[in-house]
Amino acid sequence: MAYNLNQQAWEALNRARQILVIFPKENEGDGATAALALAEILKKMNKQADVVCADFIAPHKWLFLPSIKNIKSQLSPLQKFVIKVDLKKNKLASLSYDVKDNNLYIYISPKEGVINRSDVHTASSDFKFDLVVTVDAPDLASLGRIYENNTELFSKTPIINIDHNPANEHFGKINLVDISASSAAEVLFEFLNQIAPEQITAEVATLLLAGMIIKTKNFRAANVSSRTLSNAGKLVDLGAKREEIVQHLYRQRSLAALKLWGEALVNLKNDSKTGLIWLSLKRDDFRRANATESDLPEIIDELLANSPEAKTIVLLYETAEGSVAGLVATEKHLDAKTLVQPFAPIGNRLRVKINIVGKDLAAAEQAVIETIKNRLPACR
């Protein structure tokens, strides 16, 4: 009897020994929490699992999640280069090495005679991971430099792809993609609840509920359905700490974040015909608020949750390095990546980050807003 998709994924997880669980840097928290929930389950199954996200830095408000510190920002070495020397005829007397001008020199001295080229063989070991699980990644490119620097790993290793994004490219060997779900965390919960409900501990339930709450803006977003609310209730019944999640995510805003929010509102502009809202922040705004770029997603979240007329939100800002970057968020019937495609967006169709090269903040604002206005009719 043929396995269904969930059974195939569970069998792949059971067979694997060392698993890479990876999510994009440009995520809203859904990818991080779902990845950590899966890693907790894999640990209980006596699997070796690394949770990785390129250049990951946890926002302060996520630090209440005890396993958040387990996320690595880069991969450990994936393979070993093996040098094999036949010593049947000539036993080893000494071995040493040296590094000169970025070259490695290995010196092998036999007890007698010589070692010939025919006695030396080289090879590469197998990859460290025998399974990759991507979470909340619409495509492999969204994994950033982890993918760019290790394309062979992703081409030769089986992938389980867990996502809810309508733009997902189904790049996995097994694709657990449900575009009707609110979040990758909800997709993972329904998979686990069907195939291995006994694995959902209170800690796993808390991580999954945190992902759903973050992605739905505490169940205020348009992608909330009765199914999502039902799943959230099941997670609470399983021990998820809803009050603790909400307390840390929504009731403990820093003074710096509130000040930056005030600076942002001063610069807010809108186009009522298109539902486009945009604002710009200078480095002086960050300095006055004593805030950092990590406070910016919260501004986007507040505008999305409290501005029902907003269809597209653009937040442009001067970076610490002196360039101009931006965050763009849209409603689910629009495509943020298409709207700002000329600016090489990184992220998914609902939220992207862009970098504008060679322009100051005013010129960047003009270029980005004009581009979006011209592209909005085609994206509807």
pLDDT tens sequence across 29-65: 899 999 999 999 999 999 999 999 998 888 878 888 8
For 92, left (φ over 0), alpha (ψ -120 to 50), or beta?
beta
**CATH 3.90.1640.10 domain extents, the chain:** 5-74+128-249
DSSP tag of 104: E
DSSP tag of 283: H
pLDDT above 90: residue 348: no
Compute how many other C-beta atoms are within 10 angstroms of the C-beta atom of residue 283.
13
User: What residues pair up with 331 in beta bridges, in sequence order?
Assistant: none
- The tokens describing 185, both together, are 């965390």
pLDDT tens sequence across 63-77: 888 889 999 988 876
Under 8 Å between Cβ of 336 and 351: yes
pLDDT in the model for residue 260: 84
CB environment 69-80: b (16+ within 10 A), e (fewer) = eebbeebeebee
When pLDDT is averaged across residues 179-207 and rounded to a whole number, the result is: 95
Of 7-11, 253-257, 282-286, 287-291, least confident by mean pLDDT is: 253-257
Where are the alpha helices (H) located in the chain, listed in sequence order? 5-15, 30-44, 145-148, 151-156, 184-195, 202-215, 226-237, 242-250, 255-266, 283-289, 296-306, 336-339, 361-379
**If you classify domain 5-74+128-249 with CATH, what class do you get?**
alpha beta
pLDDT tens sequence across 90-135: 788 788 888 888 888 788 887 877 787 877 776 655 668 999 999 9
* Phi, psi angles (nearest 5°) of residue 356: -110, 115
CATH of domain 255-379: 3.10.310.30
Residue 368's closest CA among 269, 295, 299?
269
pLDDT in the model for residue 222: 72
| 3-class secondary-structure state, position 136 | coil
Query: Which strands, in side-by-side order, build the sheet including 174-177?
Result: 48-52, 18-22, 131-135, 159-163, 174-177
- What is the spatial distance between Cα 77 and Cα 96, in angstroms, rounded to a whole number? 23
**CATH 3.10.310.30 domain extents, the chain:** 255-379
Under 8 Å between Cβ of 198 and 211: no
pLDDT above 70: residue 186: yes
- The tokens describing 13, both together, are 């997880």
Q: What is the helix, strand, coil percentage profile of the chain, to 5?
A: 40, 20, 35
Q: How, if at all, do strands 324-330 and 92-100 pair?
A: unpaired
Sign (positive or negative) of CA dihedral 148, 316, 269, 370 = negative
pLDDT in the model for residue 110: 79
Report pTM. 0.74
Compute how many other C-beta atoms are within 10 angstroms of the C-beta atom of residue 364.
24
- The tokens describing 307, both together, are 């501005």
- The tokens describing 262, both together, are 């005030």
Give residues with Cβ within 8 angstroms of 102, minimum separation 6. Answer: none
